[in-house]
Amino acid sequence: MRGAEITPALDVASGWAKIGAMHDIELAAILCTRICHDLVGPVGALNNGVEVLAEEDDAEMQRQAVELLGHSAEQASRRLWPAPKVCTTS
């Protein structure tokens, strides 16, 4: 009889653990979606810049492509590693 009383408590505890694990999975999925969303623009621009460099013979267009690459790499980097916020007291 005693074992029957303990089993439901264990089932409830394991149920809560499953719910907690599901929340962890959902949180991880949301974080991954956000990171991918934030990087799509700069990574697409990097791809475009590389294509321009590969196809373009004009020096001015190549210079602009290099600027685009630098700007896009900086954006992607900033989105992955934002600058630390400085707290100031007045």
Q: pLDDT for 37-79, tens place per residue?
A: 888 999 998 998 899 899 989 999 999 889 989 999 998 888 8
Residue 51 lies in a domain: yes
Residue 87 lies in a domain: no
Which residues form the domain of 53? 2-76
Residue 23 lies in a domain: yes
Can you give the pTM of this predicted structure? 0.57
Number of independent structural domains in the chain: 1
pLDDT at position 87 is 65
Q: Within 13 Å, how many C-alpha atoms sit on residue 89's CB side?
A: 0
CA distance 80 to 72: 12
Mean pLDDT of 10-39: 75
Tell me, what CATH number does 52's domain have? 1.10.287.130
Residue 34 lies in a domain: yes
Percentage of the chain with pLDDT > 90?
26
Residue 81 lies in a domain: no
Tokens at 84, concatenated: 């630390």
